[in-house]
DNA sequence: ATGGCACGGCAACCGTGA
């Protein structure tokens, strides 16, 4: 099974990139974040022409997530349980081939002052509760997407962010660690315990040519799935495309169908 | 030491991103 997560920073701008990548890589599931449109504006026909079905949770202008799959998925949730009604379009969960797949776009937390940061922490608490419920149900599952968390100092270029940035603040990192302590496996770090493995480079200040990036896109695996883990790595070459997203795909392969 | 960008949106800059 081959899965990938990719924050595309507008699907309408990145549709050709996604189409090329799908044709070349043929994943079983592609999790998209920041589609930045409502479901009616999602270029679904382009992907169905390539043999992919789309589950889209969108909103105008901001956020938005989608899951593209070759087989027919069962939709489980269209928003993260435990959040207020009318929440932003940041979560979609499906079942596919015996695996529950949660696709998430966690709030950045740097806008909106203290309340904005608290909303990020609340979102992480709801994610923790969802992970605990999935573990209790003994399903195989993966929670993947743009977490907007640099888990450790190895996950950002030195000096790139200040200590009070919402991506690295202690409460942010503590909540990410809590997910791991539940028994989830950070797929990339399980196979590549040290060193940089960035998934994002800012458009500004020559970050990409100087390789000053962040590892903020992650895939967390339930225990039985972690035992099937074969590979996990960012597709850095996508950052060199014409008019690229500022994120690249994180690709995970698992033994078995 | 610091810094230069991109996207959507009832339409001229602004909120947001990270």
Whole-number pLDDT of residue A85: 79
Sheet with A217-221: list strands edge to edge: A74-77, A91-96, A99-105, A140-146, A217-221, A185-186
Q: Which domains does chain A have, with CATH numbers?
A: 2-254 (3.60.10.10)
What are the C-alpha distances in Å from A217 to residues A33, A131, A245? 10, 17, 13
A53-75 pLDDT tens trace: 999 999 999 999 999 999 999 99
- Measure A62 CA to B14 C1' (Å): 14
Is the C-beta atom of A205 closer than 7 angstroms to strand B? yes
Between CA A64 and C1' B11 the distance (Å) reads 24
What pLDDT score was predicted for residue A214?
98
Q: Is any atom of strand B within 7 angstroms of residue A167's beta carbon?
A: yes
Residue A254 DSSP code: E
Burial of A49 (0-12, 13-18, 19+ CB in 10 A): exposed
Residues A192-247: tens digit of each pLDDT: 999 999 999 999 999 999 999 999 999 999 999 999 999 999 999 999 999 999 99
Is A247's CB less than 7 Å from nucleic acid strand B? Answer: yes
**Nearest Cα to A106, choosing from A235, A234, A7?**
A7
Measure A137 CA to B14 C1' (Å). Answer: 45
Residue A84 has what pLDDT?
85
Nearest-10 crossing angle of helices A170-181, A113-136:
0
CA of A201 to C1' of B5 (A): 11
Residue A214 DSSP label: B
Between CA A102 and C1' B18 the distance (Å) reads 22
For residue A178, count CB atoms less than 10 angstroms from its CB and return exposed for 0-12, middle for 13-18, buried for 19 or more. middle
Predicted TM-score (pTM) of the model is 0.97
Strand B contact nucleotides, protein CB < 7 Å: 3-9, 15-18
Residues forming a β-bridge with A217: A146
Cα A126 from Cα A90, distance rounded (Å)? 12
Q: Which nucleotide is nearest to A165 (CA to C1')?
A: B18
Q: What is the DSSP letter of A119?
A: H
- How many angstroms is C1' of B10 away from CA of A90? 26
Instruction: Kindly tell me if the per-residue pLDDT of A86 is higher than 90.
Output: no
| A107-124 mean pLDDT | 94
Q: Is the pLDDT of residue A188 over 90?
A: yes
Exposed (0-12), middle (13-18) or buried (19+): which is A139, by Cβ within 10 Å? middle
> Six-digit token pair at A22?
């799908």
Q: How far is the CA of A11 from the C1' of B8 (A)?
A: 12
Nucleic strand B near CB of residue A108 (< 7 Å): yes
Asked whether residue A112, judged by its CB, lies under 7 Å from any atom of the DNA or RNA strand B, the reply is yes
């Amino acid at each position: 099974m081959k899965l990938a997560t990719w924050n595309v920073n507008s699907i309408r701008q990145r549709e050709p990139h996604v189409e090329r990548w799908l044709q070349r890589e043929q994943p079983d599931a592609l999790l998209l974040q920041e589609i930045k449109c409502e479901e009616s504006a999602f270029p679904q026909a382009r992907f169905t022409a390539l043999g992919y079905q789309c589950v889209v949770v969108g909103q105008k202008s901001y956020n938005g997530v989608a899951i593209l799959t070759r087989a027919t998925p069962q939709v489980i949730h269209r928003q993260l349980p435990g959040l207020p009604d009318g929440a932003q379009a940041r979560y979609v969960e499906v079942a596919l081939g015996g695996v529950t797949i949660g696709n998430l776009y966690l709030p950045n937390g740097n806008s909106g002052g203290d309340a904005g940061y608290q909303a990020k922490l609340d979102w992480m608490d709801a994610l923790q509760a969802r992970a605990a419920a999935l573990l209790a149900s003994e399903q195989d599952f993966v929670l993947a997407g743009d977490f907007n968390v640099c888990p450790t100092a190895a996950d950002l270029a030195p000096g790139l962010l200040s200590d009070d940035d919402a991506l690295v603040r202690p409460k942010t990192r503590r909540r990410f660690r809590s997910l791991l302590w539940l028994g989830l496996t950070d797929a990339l770090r399980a196979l590549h315990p040290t060193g940089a493995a960035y998934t994002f480079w800012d458009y500004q200040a020559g970050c990409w040519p100087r390789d000053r990036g962040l590892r903020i896109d992650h895939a967390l695996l339930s225990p039985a799935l972690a035992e099937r883990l074969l590979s996990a790595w960012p597709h850095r070459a996508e950052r060199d495309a014409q008019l690229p997203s500022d994120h690249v795909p994180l690709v995970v392969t698992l033994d078995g169908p």
